[in-house]
């Protein structure tokens, strides 16, 4: 079998067209962002219920402020994070379960899209 770079490029573009890469990538990014919110909500509701995790929450907050948030907005965003954690801690068991189910379904959709991109059947 001879190595033909033009044939390789043709097969790559054919594969990208077959999986409709632009649509798949857009769907994947949107679904991933949509799934992050319920996952964070479940995590904060779990952490907020147990005083043992207060130190962990403070370390997480310091990490977010230091590495992910702009310095100019860190105090305002800190307030939002604290408010979000307080609201998440007040969620009932049923609402946490429903949020967890929606997060699991969204993550399953992300997994299906990634498997479609890489051509994994199961």
pLDDT digits (tens, 9 = 90+) for 14-58: 988 888 888 888 888 888 888 888 888 888 777 777 878 878 877
CA atoms of 42 and 48, how far apart (whole Å) = 10
pLDDT in tens, 59-114: 877 887 778 777 777 778 778 877 887 788 788 889 888 888 988 898 898 888 88
Query: Would you place residue 1 in the very low, low, confident or very high pLDDT band (cuts 50, 70, 90)?
Result: low
CA atoms of 122 and 113, how far apart (whole Å) = 12
Q: What pLDDT is attached to residue 10? A: 92
Q: What pLDDT is attached to residue 40? A: 80
Q: Say if residues 117 and 21 touch (Cβ distance below 8 Å).
A: yes
Conformation bin of residue 72: beta by default, left when phi > 0, alpha when psi is -120 to 50 = alpha
């Amino acid at each position: 079998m001879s190595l033909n770079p033009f044939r390789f490029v043709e097969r790559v573009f054919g594969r990208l067209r077959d999986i409709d890469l632009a649509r798949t990538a857009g769907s994947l990014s949107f679904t991933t962002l949509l799934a992050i919110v319920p996952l964070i909500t479940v995590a904060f509701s779990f952490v907020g219920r147990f005083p043992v995790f207060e130190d962990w929450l403070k370390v997480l907050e310091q990490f977010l402020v230091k590495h992910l948030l702009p310095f100019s907005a860190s105090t305002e965003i800190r307030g939002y994070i604290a408010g979000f954690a307080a609201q998440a801690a007040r969620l009932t068991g049923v609402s946490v379960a429903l949020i967890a189910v929606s997060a699991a379904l969204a993550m399953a959709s992300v997994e299906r899209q990634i498997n479609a991109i890489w051509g994994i059947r199961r």
